[in-house]
């Protein structure tokens, strides 16, 4: 697949077909992740691969609880001083799927990167985090080029620490995202998204 086609067709999916993925393809995708730019030239991130139902159920316990607790109907119908936004509709769609979109993916890939904590005091301290997101985007695009699709969940706060402990990740590493990879269900509902307007984003010379 041509690069721009991969960029333009990549999307986050939350429903997969019950169809296995060849591990050779997963390896090609992760090798694409390894080609990302890196701040310290060490490429010292790793990938934890979950394949079995038992592994996924164990690691995704918090995501399961969060998804179960979320009441989409209540969220969508909550009184608001303004009309519901596309982002809120997307949130209401995504939240109940935070567990199934990973559990039902043939592979869950969990990149881990070397950083004890996120510290924004200096931009340079955020470089490990920035680097791993370059890796993650390469993974998304390579998966798209392979005819696959990805779901993603960011384990926040307490969930992050629980996932890290369950996976026995060293104390000096962090877990930026949980990625489900598989064949997208073509029948999944596609919600309307905000589209960026390049004309409004461009500023020549300075902001004003």
Please give the residue ranges that form the binding site for ligand FMN (CB under 6 A). 11-12, 90, 94, 98, 152-154, 193
Name which of 11 and 68 has its Cβ closer to ligand FMN: 11
List helix spans (H) across the chain.
3-9, 23-34, 53-59, 61-69, 72-77, 86-94, 100-103, 127-145, 157-166, 198-201
Name which of 38 and 100 has its Cβ closer to ligand FMN: 100
User: What pairing do the DSSP bridges indicate for beta strands 173-174 and 107-114?
Assistant: antiparallel
Name which of 94 and 132 has its Cβ closer to ligand FMN: 94
Name which of 186 and 205 has its Cβ closer to ligand FMN: 186
Estimate to the nearest angstrom the gap between the alpha carbon of 162 and the chain centroid.
18
Minimum CB separation of residue 98 from ligand FMN in Å reads 6
Minimum CB separation of residue 86 from ligand FMN in Å reads 9
Nearest to 21 by CA among 184, 186, 134, 161: 184
Name which of 124 and 193 has its Cβ closer to ligand FMN: 193
**Exposed (0-12), middle (13-18) or buried (19+): which is 77, by Cβ within 10 Å?**
exposed
Minimum CB separation of residue 91 from ligand FMN in Å reads 8
Report phi then psi at 192, rounded to 5. Answer: -65, 140
CA terminus-to-terminus distance, the chain: 39
Name which of 96 and 106 has its Cβ closer to ligand FMN: 96
Minimum CB separation of residue 208 from ligand FMN in Å reads 28
Minimum CB separation of residue 41 from ligand FMN in Å reads 24
Minimum CB separation of residue 127 from ligand FMN in Å reads 17
The answer to whether residues 15 and 188 touch, using CB atoms and an 8 Å cutoff, is yes
């Amino acid at each position: 697949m041509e690069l721009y086609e991969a960029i333009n067709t990549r999307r986050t999916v939350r429903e997969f077909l019950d169809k296995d993925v060849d591990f050779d393809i997963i390896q090609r995708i992760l090798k694409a992740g390894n080609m990302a730019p890196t701040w310290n030239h060490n490429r010292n991130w790793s990938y934890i691969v979950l394949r079995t139902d038992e592994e996924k159920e164990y690691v995704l316990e918090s995501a399961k609880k969060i998804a179960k607790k979320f009441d989409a109907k209540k969220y969508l119908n909550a009184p608001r001083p303004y009309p519901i936004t596309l982002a809120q509709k997307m949130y209401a769609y995504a939240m109940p799927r935070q567990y199934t979109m990973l559990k039902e993916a043939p592979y869950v890939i969990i990149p881990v990167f070397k950083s004890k904590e996120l510290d924004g005091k200096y931009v340079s301290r955020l470089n490990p985090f920035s680097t791993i997101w370059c890796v993650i985007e390469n993974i998304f695009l390579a998966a798209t080029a392979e005819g696959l699709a990805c779901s993603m969940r960011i384990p926040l706060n307490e969930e992050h620490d629980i996932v890290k402990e369950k996976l026995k990740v060293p104390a000096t590493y962090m877990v930026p995202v949980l990625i489900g990879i598989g064949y997208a269900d073509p029948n999944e509902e596609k919600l309307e998204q905000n589209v960026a307007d390049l004309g409004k984003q461009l500023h020549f010379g300075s902001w004003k």
